Structure 1
């Protein structure tokens, strides 16, 4: 569950020192805005355009018409932001990621090669390298009673003391269409969540979460 074990960050990554400052990955959520501003201020304007209030967009990114991007936000090389997307700030959109039509992102990291291509909501969340959300799948980031969110993973239970916390989705995890990741869920690397699932419990690495809530082990070589 700890950041160093759950998120695999290369030592030469811009994230490395920042991520390892936090014991648990959700502790990063309150620091995203400051991180984006600090990194953005160091970016070369020969490679990035600075637009408006703390928005940095790589000159190798593709931004379609009718998108809204609020700062602080960094959009890296090879990213595609499709028509109707809404990036609400405190967002890092990593290289070669896709933010699709009618997708909304707020206070989140998309580390790289992340696809949220069709009608997704990603709020107060971290999506690791290669994670994919199918059409209509969302991260729910607020309990119905608006209480603090508790993370339960492999027998551990931790009160995050956060009122808003979506999900942490591991590397190459696949979230099926119209699935709901309920507040504070962790999805381990290379796991699969079936379409139409409502996920209330965290899913270990290389496991399948079925619509019934059953979780079973699987092996993926991707």
Structure 2
């Protein structure tokens, strides 16, 4: 009798494992299809019927593995954030001066936005239905990116409270994002790549220089 129960339990576990694997595979195919759709035509190019066809499933199957299209879009966004995080991660070797590290991060953000414009735009265009806040797991993904900015700020301002550094990281990101967005979208005027990169460097160095003055009382740019 025990052998029978053991066999039934093992069979149930195998079945559950296969179901879980199939669900994970379908989720991955739908995320890949959604990412390709957004990359090709922006967020408005994301349609359930087209996604289902690309992933090889019925339309209803989408809602068996995602709560709704918002959930799917968030997962695509998380995939974009993961690629961005991978590129922003510090390279091996000694850490550069904080200002240089902040400049490296800003330059990569610009290059990523330039190379993945539609997916980058989608991160900021998407709004959850009903004004719902982003889920905790998505905010954690965002938080890891801000932590990469906070690290050089911690070396630049070692006595700054963590909460204040977190706010500074978000302030700098907002400024960098603004320049990148205005430059790539040409909202104000056409701007060459060299001019855009130059303005980005000007901003980051001014920001870092201001924080240095705040810490030491000395102007790093003064002769």
TM class, shorter-length: under 0.3
Report 1 or 2 for greater relative contact order, CA contacts < 8 Å, sequence distance ≥ 6: 2
Normalising by structure 1, what TM-score?
0.23
What's the TM-score once normalised by structure 2's chain length? 0.23
Larger proportion of strand? 1
Compare the two structures and name the one with the higher helix fraction.
2
